[in-house]
């Protein structure tokens, strides 16, 4: 097989069959198997289509599909079909709207104008008719009142006549006779004549009243049974006929649109059913075969060594070793590679354990009663699914790095190279870079510099802790094992400020040159107001190991006893996204000024050093340090670095549901089934506790990994 020089593969572009993917005239119509037959069918449909048929909405300039470049991916065809059918339905709706304007709106305007005069005349006549009817009602009321009045007069005249006729010579009647200068008989006759006269008037009034009743009843009956219904017919004329026609036209338009939509849905469903992930992936790989071709697959894309002019070629891929010096160099390289493999294997194993744990938590949470839609959140991941994706990506990246390291180790071992390890050097553990606040012990320790190399961060980096990354600040001091070379673009480092470890981009840091072999750590003073600790390097070089900002923050935490206030420390860097938010870096201490911000996820606080900036910040970006007391001014510092001024009350016992490996020095490692004592459960996601089986070391643990069993 001919040697092939190394070259980068082509970019992931849509070439070949997918190059013309978004040309409307280059995609096969999913409902037309034969272009010629489809065209003939379309002509036939156009000649027989009715004016109200849904096809009348289809435009004649719609693109025809063809398959000049062979089959394209079904996912793109489905997308394109959806776009075309959506456009088709839109045109149908537009055409229906135009017909609605011309056949409904304009018709109603003309009809209303023509009906106005006729309705006006009918209304005028109805008013006159009702005036006449009301006159009959008024006459009825008048005759009724006259009848009642005359009836009372007749009754009075009759009673006076009867009373006088019974006792014409009584004392009262004798007086009345004397006054009227009539005798008794004359007066009785006069009263009888008055009674007869009023009785005749009563008969006339009664007859007039009865006649008025008859007239009103007949007029009212005629109005109710004939004239009023006739008016309704005059008002209506052809209104209902016209309305029925309008509604029918509208229904026909909607039915036509529905037919168009139904046809579009059928076409889209046909192409959607063809969507298949495997077929689509195979099509992409086929179009970009040069990206995945290997010697085993016949692609000839394996890289081989090409000897330069005058150089010796290797035999069967075996390394050439000229002398012991070359073997020693290769042995050291092999030892370095094997150390890197161990580190990668350790990270990979931890990631796989985390992956299974997160999957288990999300699976159990998704089926728990009342929490079927809950997604478990751990750390600062957006949700459980995002965290699973981050871990999977980290595992893939580590496996890629692992494959590179293993391939080089295999080739070295195949070439009979044995690992050469440096001689063991006794080391001393470097003490904490800052003095203990509670004690006044001066300390000085040394360690060989060859075991670590030091870097300075050139830029700030916000790492993803769930992927094993480390967040660093601009100018932060970092250290790494001498075996770390960053050849893969990433390097495992330890922050000299926080003690946390993780991987960071290699191009974000710069190695610091060191002239001597011993680092001496001096802590000049342990008082609360002591100066910053520094690391002096023999031979005149100085390496700053403790960040000025960190010590200032801790001094501020311990000496501020003027009032009782809750403090938090930033776990991650946060940049304000709008006015009113607080920007801070990892490690910044913030005084909480207000928790009632309208959202449990946001508090308001003020930075304690530098320019005392105030603003709102996300709660899940910080950890609680505790409160400072105005009386004693003392704080309690736990072994894992959290400061707390709150008395530990309300302790309770929990049992670990799952295994958990501590992510940094401030966390506890859990084993499923073991019991722990929780001393601080104020945070909803992370609690503070200690192992019940023994030991006083306290640390943080995820609340979702444990279950309460009893009070302490």
Q: Which of 414, 446, 472 is the last residue of a domain?
A: 414
* pLDDT over 50 at 542, yes or no: no
- Domain check: are 505 and 585 in the same one? no
- Domain check: are 508 and 574 in the same one? no
- DSSP-assigned letter for residue 489: S
The predicted model scores a pTM of 0.34
Token digits of residue 487? 């050849």
Measured CA to CA, the distance from residue 274 to residue 278 in angstroms comes to: 11
Residue 643, in any domain of the structure? no
- When pLDDT is cut at 50, 70 and 90, the band that residue 465 belongs to is confident
Q: What's the mean pLDDT in 186-201?
A: 84
Q: Which residue has the higher pLDDT, 412 or 167?
A: 412
pLDDT at position 432 is 34
Q: How far is CA 348 from CA 342, 385, 400, 494, in A?
A: 10, 19, 11, 18
Q: What are phi and psi of 363, to 5 degrees?
A: -65, -45
Token digits of residue 685? 């996601």
* pLDDT over 60 at 435, yes or no: no
- When pLDDT is cut at 50, 70 and 90, the band that residue 157 belongs to is confident
CB-based contacts of 374, cutoff 8 Å, min separation 6? 365, 366, 368
Token digits of residue 46? 């156009």
Token digits of residue 169? 């010579």
**Are the C-beta atoms of residues 623 and 615 closer than 8 Å to each other?**
no
pLDDT at position 609 is 63
The mean of the pLDDT values for the chain is: 71
Residue 364: Cβ-neighbour burial (10 angstroms; 0-12, 13-18, 19+): middle
Torsion of CA 592, 596, 602, 606, to 10 degrees: -30
No. of helices (H) and no. of strands (E), the chain = 12, 21
Q: Which of 575, 606, 638 is the last residue of a domain?
A: 638
**Could you give the count of Cα atoms lying within 13 Å of 343 in the half-sphere of its Cβ?**
23
pLDDT at position 217 is 92
Q: What is the pLDDT of residues 288-323, one digit of tens each?
A: 776 666 544 444 557 777 777 777 666 566 776 767
Q: What is the pLDDT of residues 160-182, one digit of tens each?
A: 888 777 776 666 666 766 677 67
Instruction: Determine the straight-line distance between the first and last CA of the chain, rounded to whole angstroms.
Output: 74
For the beta carbon of residue 536, count every other beta carbon within 10 angstroms. Answer: 16
Q: What are phi and psi of 616, to 5 degrees?
A: -90, 150
Q: What is the pLDDT of residues 466-517, one digit of tens each?
A: 778 888 988 888 888 877 777 677 888 888 877 788 888 888 888 876 433 3
- Domain check: are 538 and 449 in the same one? yes
- Domain check: are 403 and 429 in the same one? no
Q: What's the mean pLDDT in 633-646?
A: 37
- When pLDDT is cut at 50, 70 and 90, the band that residue 550 belongs to is very low
**Are the C-beta atoms of residues 452 and 545 closer than 8 Å to each other?**
no
CB-based contacts of 318, cutoff 8 Å, min separation 6? 414, 415
Q: What is the pLDDT of residues 44-102, one digit of tens each?
A: 444 444 444 444 444 434 443 443 344 457 788 888 999 999 999 999 999 888 888 88
| Concatenated DSSP letters of 541-579 | -EE--S-HHHHHHHHHHHH--SS-EEEEEESS-B--SST
Q: b or e along 198-221 (b: 16 or more beta carbons within 10 Å of the residue's beta carbon)?
A: bbeebeebeebbeebeeebeebee
Token digits of residue 420? 């050469």
Q: Strands, DSSP E only, in 564-670? A: 565-570, 589-594, 602-607, 614-618, 622-628, 636-637, 643-644, 652-656
| Concatenated DSSP letters of 286-317 | HHTHHHH--TTTT--------PPTTPPPPSTT
Q: How many domains does the chain have?
A: 5
- Domain check: are 594 and 516 in the same one? no
Q: What's the mean pLDDT in 638-650?
A: 40
Q: What is the pLDDT of residues 344-398, one digit of tens each?
A: 888 888 888 888 888 877 776 655 544 444 444 444 444 667 888 888 888 988 8
Pick from 184, 181, 182: which is nearest to 168 by CA? 184
pLDDT at position 359 is 80
Largest CA distance in the chain: 182
Q: Which of 521, 546, 571 is the last residue of a domain?
A: 546
| Concatenated DSSP letters of 216-247 | HHHHHHHIIIIIHHHHHHHHHTTHHHHHHHHH
| Ramachandran region, residue 590 (left: φ > 0; alpha: ψ -120 to 50; beta: rest) | beta
Q: Which of 278-282, 323-327, 408-412 has the lowest mean pLDDT?
A: 323-327
Long-range contacts of 32-38 (CB under 8 A, 24+ apart): 32/65, 35/64, 35/65, 35/66, 38/64
Q: What is the pLDDT of residues 14-41, one digit of tens each?
A: 444 444 444 434 334 444 444 444 444 4
- Domain check: are 535 and 554 in the same one? no
- Domain check: are 386 and 372 in the same one? yes
- Domain check: are 436 and 539 in the same one? yes
Q: What's the mean pLDDT in 444-462?
A: 65
**Are the C-beta atoms of residues 341 and 398 closer than 8 Å to each other?**
no
pLDDT at position 63 is 40
* pLDDT over 60 at 698, yes or no: yes
- Domain check: are 531 and 551 in the same one? no
Residue 54, in any domain of the structure? no
Residue 184, in any domain of the structure? yes
* pLDDT over 50 at 410, yes or no: yes
- Domain check: are 333 and 375 in the same one? yes
Residue 350, in any domain of the structure? yes
Token digits of residue 387? 């965290």
Domain range for 540 is: 424-546
Q: What's the mean pLDDT in 537-565?
A: 42
Q: What's the mean pLDDT in 563-587?
A: 81
- DSSP-assigned letter for residue 454: E
**Could you give the count of Cα atoms lying within 13 Å of 556 in the half-sphere of its Cβ?**
21
pLDDT at position 149 is 92
pLDDT at position 142 is 92
Give the whole-number percent of the chain exceeding pLDDT 90: 8
- Domain check: are 483 and 381 in the same one? no
Give the whole-number percent of the chain exceeding pLDDT 70: 65
Residue 667, in any domain of the structure? yes
Q: Which of 109-118, 124-133, 207-216, 258-267 has the lowest mean pLDDT?
A: 109-118
Question: 454 has which bridge partners?
Answer: 479
Residue 287, in any domain of the structure? no
For the beta carbon of residue 419, count every other beta carbon within 10 angstroms. Answer: 17
- When pLDDT is cut at 50, 70 and 90, the band that residue 447 belongs to is very low
Residue 179, in any domain of the structure? yes
Secondary structure of residue 606 in the 3-state scheme: strand
- The count of residues in the chain is 712
- Domain check: are 659 and 675 in the same one? yes
CATH assignment of the domain containing 667: 2.30.30.40
Residue 53, in any domain of the structure? no
Q: Show the 3-state SS of 350-387.
A: HHHHHHHHHHHHHHHHHHCCCCCCCCCCCCCCCCHHHH
* pLDDT over 50 at 8, yes or no: no
pLDDT at position 86 is 93
Q: How far is CA 340 from the centre of its chain?
A: 41
């Amino acid at each position: 097989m001919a040697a092939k020089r190394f070259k980068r593969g082509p970019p992931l572009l849509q070439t070949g069959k997918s190059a013309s993917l978004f040309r409307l005239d280059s995609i096969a119509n999913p409902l037309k198997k034969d272009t010629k037959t489809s065209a003939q069918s379309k002509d036939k449909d156009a000649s027989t289509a009715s004016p109200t048929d849904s096809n009348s909405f289809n435009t004649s300039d719609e693109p025809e599909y063809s398959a000049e470049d062979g089959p394209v991916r079904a996912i793109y065809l489905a997308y394109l079909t959806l776009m075309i059918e959506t456009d088709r339905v839109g045109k149908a709706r537009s055409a229906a709207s135009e017909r609605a304007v011309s056949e409904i709106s304009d018709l109603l305007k003309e009809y209303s104008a023509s009906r106005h005069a006729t309705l006006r005349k009918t209304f005028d006549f109805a008013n006159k008719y009702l005036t006449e009817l009301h006159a009959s009602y008024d006459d009825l009321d008048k005759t009724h009142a006259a009848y009642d009045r005359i009836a009372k007069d007749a009754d009075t005249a009759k009673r006076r006549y009867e009373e006088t006729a019974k006792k014409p010579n009584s004392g009262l009647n004798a007086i009345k006779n004397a006054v009227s200068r009539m005798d008794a008989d004359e007066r009785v006759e006069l009263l009888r004549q008055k009674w007869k006269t009023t009785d005749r008037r009563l008969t006339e009034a009664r007859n007039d009243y009865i006649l008025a009743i008859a007239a009103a009843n007949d007029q009212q009956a005629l109005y109710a049974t004939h004239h009023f219904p006739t008016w309704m017919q005059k008002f209506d004329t052809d209104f209902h006929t016209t309305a029925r026609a309008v509604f029918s036209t509208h229904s026909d338009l909607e039915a036509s649109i529905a037919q168009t939509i139904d046809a579009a849905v059928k076409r889209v469903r046909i192409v959607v059913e063809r969507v298949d992930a495997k077929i689509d992936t195979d099509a992409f790989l086929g179009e970009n075969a040069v990206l995945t071709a290997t010697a085993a697959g016949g692609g000839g894309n394996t890289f081989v060594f090409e000897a330069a002019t005058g150089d010796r070629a290797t035999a069967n891929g075996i390394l050439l070793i000229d002398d012991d010096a070359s073997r020693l160099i290769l042995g050291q390289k092999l030892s370095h590679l094997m150390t890197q493999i161990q580190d990668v294997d350790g990270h990979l194993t931890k990631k796989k354990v985390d992956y299974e744990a997160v999957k288990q938590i999300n699976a159990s949470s998704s089926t728990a009663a009342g929490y079927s839609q809950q997604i478990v959140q751990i750390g600062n991941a957006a949700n459980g699914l995002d965290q699973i994706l981050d871990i999977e990506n980290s595992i893939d990246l580590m496996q890629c790095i692992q494959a590179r390291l293993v391939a080089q180790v295999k080739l070295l071992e195949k070439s009979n190279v044995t690992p050469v390890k440096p001689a063991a050097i006794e080391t001393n553990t470097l003490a904490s870079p800052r003095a203990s606040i509670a004690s006044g012990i001066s300390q000085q320790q040394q360690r060989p510099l060859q075991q670590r190399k030091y870097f300075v961060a050139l830029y700030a980096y916000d790492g993803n802790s769930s992927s094993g990354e480390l967040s660093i600040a601009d100018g932060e001091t970092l250290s790494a094992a001498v075996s770390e070379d960053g050849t893969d673009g990433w390097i495992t480092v330890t922050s000299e400020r926080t003690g946390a470890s993780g991987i960071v981009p290699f191009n974000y840091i710069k190695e610091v040159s060191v002239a001597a072999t011993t680092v001496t750590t001096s802590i000049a003073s342990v008082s609360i107001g002591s100066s910053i600790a520094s690391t002096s390097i023999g031979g005149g070089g100085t390496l700053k190991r403790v960040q000025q900002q960190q010590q200032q923050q801790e001094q501020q935490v311990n000496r501020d006893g003027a009032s009782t206030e809750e403090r938090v420390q930033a776990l991650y860097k946060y940049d304000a996204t709008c006015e009113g938010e607080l920007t801070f870096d990892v490690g910044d201490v913030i005084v909480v000024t207000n928790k009632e911000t309208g959202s449990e996820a946001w508090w308001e606080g003020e930075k304690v050093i530098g320019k005392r900036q105030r603003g709102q910040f996300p709660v899940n970006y910080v950890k609680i340090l505790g409160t400072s007391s105005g009386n004693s001014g003392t704080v309690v510092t736990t072994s894992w670095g959290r400061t707390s001024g709150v008395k530990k009350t309300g302790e309770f016992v929990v049992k670990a549901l799952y295994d958990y490996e501590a992510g940094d020095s401030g966390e506890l490692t859990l084993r499923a089934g073991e019991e722990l004592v929780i001393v601080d459960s104020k945070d909803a996601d992370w609690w503070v506790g200690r192992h019940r089986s023994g030991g006083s070391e306290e640390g943080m643990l995820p609340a979702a990994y444990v279950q309460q069993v009893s009070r302490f």
